Amino acid sequence: MASAAQSPQATHERKPRARPVIRLATLAMAAAALWGCVPRARPVETPPPPEPVQEAPRPVQPSRLPADETRNRVAVLVPLTGRDAALGQSILNAANLALLDSGGQHIRITAYDTAAGAVPAANDALAEGSGLILGPLLADDVRAVAPIARHADVPVVAFSNDVSVAGDGVYLMGFTPGEAIRRVVAYARAQGLNRFGGLVPVNTYGERSARALTQAVQGEGGHLTGIQTFDASPAGVRGAAARLVGQGPADAVLVADVPRAVLPAMAVLHEASPVPRLLATERWAAESGIGANVPLRGTWFAAPSDANYNAFRTRYRARYTAAPYRLASLGYDAVLLVVRAAENWPVGRPFPARTLRDPNGFVGVDGAFRFGRDGVAERALEVREVGATGTTVVSPAPRGFN
């Protein structure tokens, strides 16, 4: 274990109604000025908390850490070495930033490196008294950790977007294609579009996107003209588009891949009558310069609002002198969620998992969210339209859940 310097409010360690939604953002308002949904008073100038000092990871000792009589232990399981180390470190940095911003006095974060195996990391975390696990990042790691945590009656709030690992004590913070597809299809139906087609890659993401599109169109009372799969080659994409056009006219076509992957389909779709509106998934939110490709202009896609994220990114860069990974916001919001739960979490007692299932939801860096009965995060998303110089919000994200 590597120790860290303590701030006045928090300790971080590193290891190898019908009522309104609960605004996690208010926990960090004065320090970070993150939240744009309510008017902000002029911030009070206070000295920043000291930066946690992290040492190189050392092997976990077999004995438990000394008991902490004032804080509950929370484990963050992320890769800190190996291929995904930069992403894992960014999530950990964001989690630590949330702890400092919120002034959480009753939780103590310890990070465990999953690069050498999520199971030993989870075992170490539980042996050392962690009452909640944040992470892991990868679906296979979540699947491996879940039964261990379940046996210990410790909830897992994972950063994966693989819905197959959710439920029975596992909650997913990750962005799923299903949420984005439901939102953009609902918006398209509200604009009068009725006939929908789909182009999806031959992989797990494509399978889930196809299933989500089918359910969304049915749920909105639309008509599904067909769904075609494609491989990664330009010829494969063009062929899938031609087959889809052959199945009948569509008012809108969902393409479940990044912009550059679907460009070969555009010439085929633009020859169709009528020319369908292009719909995309949340993957497009991380892309820049999409509008430079004229055929992609006019595409609609749903994603979390960047309003709060941009402020978070500025704060993160100021502290760590680097931009965060986009997924780092999951670590920030997860810790704010825990800090709020800690208000009703007596030290030494099991984590109150019921707080994770609040139907009114929470508001964080990525907007309003709540965990559904299946343990998957339901998110309030905005709809954007691709233009020549960027994207424009055509349907703002709801501020909460009815």
Report yes or no: 10 and 99 within 8 Å, Cβ to Cβ.
Answer: yes
Residue 134, φ and ψ in degrees, nearest 5: -105, 120
Residues 313 and 166 in one domain: yes
Residues 98 and 123 in one domain: yes
Mean pLDDT of the 297-321 span:
96
Residue 166: inside a domain? yes
Average pLDDT, the chain: 86
Strands (E), 178-326: 195-201, 223-230, 252-255, 277-280, 300-303
Report yes or no: 174 and 138 within 8 Å, Cβ to Cβ.
Answer: no
Model pLDDT, residue 342? 79
Q: Which amino acid is at 23?
A: R
Please tell me the distance from the alpha carbon of residue 145 to that of residue 106, in angstroms, as a whole number. Answer: 25
Residues 66 and 167 in one domain: yes
Model pLDDT, residue 47? 36
Residue 280 DSSP label:
E
Model pLDDT, residue 170? 98
Domain containing residue 137: CATH number: 3.40.50.2300
Mean pLDDT of the 116-130 span:
97
pLDDT higher at 26 or 242: 242
For residue 253, what are the β-bridge partners?
197, 278
pLDDT at 151 over 60: yes
Between 18-32, 183-197, 216-230, the lowest mean confidence (pLDDT) is in 18-32
Give 67-105 pLDDT, tens digit per residue: 677 889 999 999 999 999 999 999 999 999 999 999 878
Q: Name the one residue in this structure whose structure tokens are 């896609």.
A: 301
Q: Which class for 148: exposed (0-12), middle (13-18), buried (19 or more C-beta within 10 A)?
A: middle
Residues 284 and 335 in one domain: no
Report yes or no: 275 and 254 within 8 Å, Cβ to Cβ.
Answer: no
Between 78-87, 105-114, 134-143, 342-351, the lowest mean confidence (pLDDT) is in 342-351
pLDDT higher at 282 or 1: 282
Residues 16 and 156 in one domain: yes
pLDDT at 194 over 90: yes
Please tell me the distance from the alpha carbon of residue 331 to that of residue 98, in angstroms, as a whole number. Answer: 8
Give 232-253 pLDDT, tens digit per residue: 899 999 999 999 999 999 999 9
Q: What range defines the domain where residue 240 resides?
A: 177-303+382-395
Helix/strand/coil percentages in the chain, nearest 5:
40, 20, 40
pLDDT at 16 over 50: no
pLDDT at 45 over 50: no
Residue 157: inside a domain? yes
Model pLDDT, residue 340? 85
Residues 36 and 127 in one domain: yes
Mean pLDDT of the 20-26 span:
50
For residue 157, what are the β-bridge partners?
134, 171
Number of domains in the chain: 2
Model pLDDT, residue 43? 29
